[in-house]
């Protein structure tokens, strides 16, 4: 499906984006993954390369998506070393749990800088390569094309579902991801006529990820695991999610393969929610920042949130 194509992935050493990259590499792509931590990025790149003999996966560390010049240099290096950029995933993101009372202006800005400005920077750094790729690889629907032709020029931003309803303690991420979705709509409108297909994947709670360890109390994680054990056939287990389970990284890589293969050749400006229907029960199905038993609005009025979160601050700093 991806034979000979090149993927450029920000946040590519993270749990979700490394799984997306791994799937593309398994299916024949080469890739550059971009990250802030050089050692982690290079180690994950080496590991992903093992998935297919002859695969080229370059880890480009010390790159922060907030710094356009560094990101552009990484994109240029990727294109120079691997022969172009055909697929882009804007996956770098930052998150922590904090009510507005505990968010300093700089904390709010930091998440907008990483998610929103980072996504815009990724578009700016790569879109000329995507236009070139779309023209070189128009895909199976082009006049006279091989029906098995693989297209190029595709963009995915990894977003979230919090902004569909709003969610307590996620004001910063909700605002940032709403803007991410909006940027992708603009890319779809402005670059669709040049052959670039730009879409959003919005994951729900994904088991076993850094994101979930930052957002979910360890008590909830244990609770989900015990429910899963009582429900054979579920992977994560949650009766309050319509599909009955938290998502897996495989769910997100499958959605990526759908959009980046011929099946996605006319999908543009779409938001693909992959959450088992959880956002439709947001508040009951998603327990960001809460221990079991904490109820809205009591935890807010009492100034409480879970203390069992990775990177969490138990007290408001304002
Ligand atoms: N609650 C409230 N404010 C917080 C916070 C928390 N849990 N964690 C950080 N902040 C604030 C800081 O206090 C600082 O504000 P200040 O200058 O007014 O004190 C601001 O956010 C920036 O923090 P800093 O640690 O300097 O930013 P950074 O750029 O080094 O890190 C983060 C960015 C904060 C998003 C960090 O969590 C991160 O690097 N995350 C990446 C991984 C990740 O989040 N993955 C999950 C994706 S879903």
Q: What is the pLDDT of residues 39-98, one digit of tens each?
A: 999 999 999 999 999 999 999 999 999 999 999 999 999 999 999 999 999 999 999 999
291 within a domain of the structure (yes/no): no
259 within a domain of the structure (yes/no): yes
Q: Give the Cα separation of 267 and 198 in Å (integer).
A: 8
Catalytic residue among 18, 151, 177, 248: 177
Query: Angle 175-41-134 (CA atoms, 0-180°, nearest 5)?
Result: 70
Q: Give per-residue pLDDT as tens, 133-151.
A: 999 999 988 888 887 788 9
pLDDT of residue 310: 86
State if residue 200 touches ligand 1 by the CB under 6 angstroms criterion.
no
State if residue 110 touches ligand 1 by the CB under 6 angstroms criterion.
yes
pLDDT of residue 287: 83
Question: For this structure, is 159 an active site residue?
Answer: yes
| pLDDT band, very low/low/confident/very high, at 188 (cuts 50, 70, 90) | very high
| pLDDT band, very low/low/confident/very high, at 233 (cuts 50, 70, 90) | low
225 within a domain of the structure (yes/no): no
Q: Got the DSSP string for 41-57?
A: HHHHHHHHHTTSTT--E
- Mean of per-residue pLDDT scores for the chain: 92
Which among 93, 88, 100 is positioned nearest to 259, based on CA atoms? 88
The CATH number of the domain holding residue 117 is 3.40.50.720
Across residues 260-287, what is the average pLDDT?
91
Which among 62, 115, 108 is positioned nearest to 92, based on CA atoms? 115
Of residues 181 and 227, more confidence is placed in 181
Across residues 104-118, what is the average pLDDT?
98
Nearest atom of ligand 1 to the alpha carbon of 309: 7
Output the CA 107–ligand 1 centroid distance in Å: 6
Which residue's alpha carbon is nearest to atom 28 within ligand 1? 110
State if residue 107 touches ligand 1 by the CB under 6 angstroms criterion.
yes
Would the pLDDT of 315 be above 90?
no
Q: Which of 40-49, 72-81, 229-238, 246-255 has the lowest mean pLDDT?
A: 229-238
48 within a domain of the structure (yes/no): yes
Q: Give the Cα separation of 1 and 88 in Å (integer).
A: 16
10 within a domain of the structure (yes/no): yes
Output the CA 262–ligand 1 centroid distance in Å: 39
16 within a domain of the structure (yes/no): yes
107 within a domain of the structure (yes/no): yes
Q: Give the Cα separation of 174 and 28 in Å (integer).
A: 35
Number of domains forming the structure of the chain = 1
pLDDT of residue 48: 98
Q: Which of 148-152, 172-176, 218-222 has the lowest mean pLDDT?
A: 218-222
Which residue's alpha carbon is nearest to atom 41 within ligand 1? 94
Percent of the chain with pLDDT over 90: 76
Of residues 296 and 36, more confidence is placed in 36
Question: For this structure, is 177 an active site residue?
Answer: yes
Nearest atom of ligand 1 to the alpha carbon of 110: 22
Residue 137 domain boundaries: 6-212+242-281
288 within a domain of the structure (yes/no): no
Which residue's alpha carbon is nearest to atom 15 within ligand 1? 107
Say what angle helices 15-26 and 249-260 make with each other, to 10 degrees. Answer: 50
Output the CA–CA distances (angstroms, integers) from residue 101 to 104, 127, 196, in the order listed. 8, 38, 41
Would the pLDDT of 157 be above 60?
yes
Is residue 243 within 8 Å of residue 281, measured between CB atoms? Answer: no
| pLDDT band, very low/low/confident/very high, at 228 (cuts 50, 70, 90) | low
Catalytic residue among 159, 216, 238, 287: 159
pLDDT of residue 176: 98
Would the pLDDT of 210 be above 50?
yes
Backbone angles phi, psi at 92, to 5 degrees: -65, 135
Return the residue matching tokens 């990025």.
Answer: 41
Would the pLDDT of 309 be above 60?
yes
């Amino acid at each position: 499906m991806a034979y000979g194509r090149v993927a450029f992935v920000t946040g590519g050493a993270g749990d979700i984006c490394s799984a997306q990259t791994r799937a593309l590499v398994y299916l024949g792509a080469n890739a550059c993954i971009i990250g802030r931590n050089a050692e982690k990025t290079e180690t994950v790149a080496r590991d992903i390369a093992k998935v297919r003999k002859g695969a080229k996966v370059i880890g480009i560390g010390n790159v922060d998506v907030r710094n356009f010049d560094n990101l552009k240099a990484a994109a240029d290096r990727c294109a120079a070393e691997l022969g172009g950029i055909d697929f882009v995933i804007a996956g770098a993101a930052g998150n922590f749990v904090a009510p507005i009372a505990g968010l300093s202006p700089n904390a709010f800005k930091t998440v907008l800088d990483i998610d929103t400005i980072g996504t815009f920077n990724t578009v700016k750094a790569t879109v000329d390569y995507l236009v070139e790729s779309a023209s070189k690889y128009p895909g199976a629907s082009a006049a006279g094309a091989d029906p098995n032709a693989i297209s190029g020029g595709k963009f995915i931003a990894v977003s979230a579902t919090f902004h569909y309803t709003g969610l307590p303690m996620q004001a910063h991420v909700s605002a940032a991801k709403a803007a991410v979705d909006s940027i992708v709509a603009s890319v779809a409108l402005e670059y669709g006529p040049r052959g670039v297909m730009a879409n959003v994947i919005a994951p729900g709670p994904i088991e076993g990820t850094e994101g979930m360890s930052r957002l979910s109390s360890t008590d909830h994680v244990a609770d989900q695991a015990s429910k899963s054990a009582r429900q054979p056939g579920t992977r994560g287990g949650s009766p309050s999610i319509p599909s009955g389970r938290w998502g897996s990284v495989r769910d997100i890589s499958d959605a990526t393969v759908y959009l980046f293969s011929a099946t996605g050749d006319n999908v543009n400006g779409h938001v693909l929610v992959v959450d088992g229907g959880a956002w439709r029960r947001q508040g009951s199905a998603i327990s960001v920042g809460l221990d079991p038993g904490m109820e809205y609005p009591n935890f807010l009025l009492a100034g409480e949130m879970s203390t069992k979160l990775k990177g969490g601050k138990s007290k408001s700093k304002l």
